[in-house]
Amino acid sequence: MSLETIDLSDPAFKRNPYPFFARLRREVAVKPLRQQDGQRVWLITRYADVAAALKDDRLTKDVVGGSGDPAKPRRDPWWMPSFIRPLGMNMLYQDPPNHTRLRALVQKAFTAAYVERLRERIERYAHELIDRMLERGGGDLVADFALPIPLRIICDMLGVPEQDRRKFGAWSQKAVSVNTGPDALFVIPALWKFLHFVRGLVRLRQRRSADDLLSDLVRAEEAGDRLSEDELVGMVFLLLIAGHETTVNLISSGVLELVRHPAELERLRAEPALGRSAVEELLRMTSPVEFGTDRYTLREVEYGGVTIPKSERVHLVIGSANRDEAQFPEPDRLDLAREPNRHLAFGHGLHYCVGAPLARLEAQVAFRALLERCAELKLAVPEEQLRWRRSVLLRGLRELPVRMRAAERRAVA
């Protein structure tokens, strides 16, 4: 099978990757590509195959050593400084039984019941941010609204001091811009600062407990086991990034979709009860996590009649699966009342996103507050001028300039 070369992180590709995904679904179930760094990666693009692969234990997530072969000793890549090693110790890059242990220690903080208790706080902050934007007649919806909401909530949960929070936006955006191993060389300064701060926060909570999630993680035990310091650092790093990066993309890209579809925007304004299904449809349409994190084949596997050899790198293309016409009627049409809507935006199986309830709530609150408070919500620049972030895994806007006009009176929440 011939190898195309494509930069999956190119902002020009991120602008509209869906025709490319549709072509792959039509032509072949699994497609090998050569990326800009010269590495070969296999793209699985059809919904049924992606859903199956997300649960396939023949694909490993423990890829720190890059071999995908548990029979080989674990080794750090040549480019990895020792201070980065805790990043590979979070549950995102672990298989059972380690993944099971790590997830059990954190998932209690993200139950639907616990998250629901955050609703009033999220609503209050969303309205504060909208107040500021309305005073100016608009602004950058990413920096002024979509980013501050989830970042503040996850920092609250983890007990990050108020004076340190402004650093996290820049640090996390640097961290998620790493697309290949050697890319980490270019973000080492930001990663060092981020991880140095996180380790200091962990050690502070080890000495002095507080009423926050990090203290809970320090104290937590599952079957008599506790998180090591490196595991705590890796977990906090993951929660800080995963706890807000994907939600930023969901809110900002979701607003862009609503602006593109004014009839659906007005439908949601008139029918706030559509809030839950609207968020599910915007998750499907925008796929904030466009590619699943790296997996490697533990042995030869076959999908759709295509054989992937052992020890090969695999990308599960969630953004393609969520637009698969075999699963979703009229997949490129925005339908805020779509049912059923079994999208894969939060994954599937063991690695289903632990923060999904929080992301859903934050998005529901954000969209409702915007439509309640804004009689007009429009792009402030032509759409072709919008810039997309460079990242393989995520798809999100760098900024979203909007014009806003206040509604005559604020609806009662």
Contact 247, 234 (CB under 8 A): no
Helix (H) or strand (E) run with residue 270 in it: helix 262-270
Give strand pairing partners of 297. Answer: 59
Pair 388, 395: CB distance under 8 Å: yes
For residues 160-174, b (16+ Cβ closer than 10 Å) or e, as one string?
beeeeeeebbebbbb
Within a 13 Å sphere around the CA of 62, how many CA atoms are in the beta-carbon half?
A: 17
Choose among 84, 101, 102, 91: nearest CA to 61: 91
pLDDT, tens digit, for every residue of 253-297?
Answer: 999 999 999 999 999 999 999 999 999 999 999 999 999 988 999
Report yes or no on 311 lying in a domain: yes
In a domain, 412, yes or no: no
User: Quick check: is 98 in a domain?
Assistant: yes
Quick check: is 411 in a domain? no
CATH of the domain at 118: 1.10.630.10
Q: What is the pTM of this model?
A: 0.91
Which residues 6+ apart lie within 8 Å of 408 measured at CB? 375
From CA 282, how far away is CA 250, in angstroms rounded?
7
Could you tell me which of 132, 376, 126, 138 has the C-alpha nearest to residue 251? 126
Confidence of residue 78 (pLDDT cuts 50, 70, 90): very low
- Structurally, the chain folds into a number of domains equal to 1
- CA 335 from chain centre, in angstroms, equals 22
Is residue 128 in a domain?
Answer: yes
Structural domain boundaries enclosing 325: 4-406
Give a yes or no: residue 391 inside a domain. yes
Question: Residues near 114 by Cβ (< 8 Å), separated by ≥ 6?
Answer: 108
- The DSSP 8-state label assigned to residue 76 in this structure reads -
- Which tokens sit at 118? 């955050």
Q: How far is CA 118 from CA 109, 113, 152, 157, 410, in A?
A: 11, 9, 12, 10, 21
413 found inside a domain:
no
pLDDT, tens only, 132-189: 999 999 999 999 999 999 999 999 999 998 888 877 767 776 666 655 555 556 677 8
- Tokens 């694909």 correspond to 59
pLDDT at 67 over 80: no
Q: Is 83 exposed, middle or buried (0-12, 13-18, 19+ CB in 10 A)?
A: middle
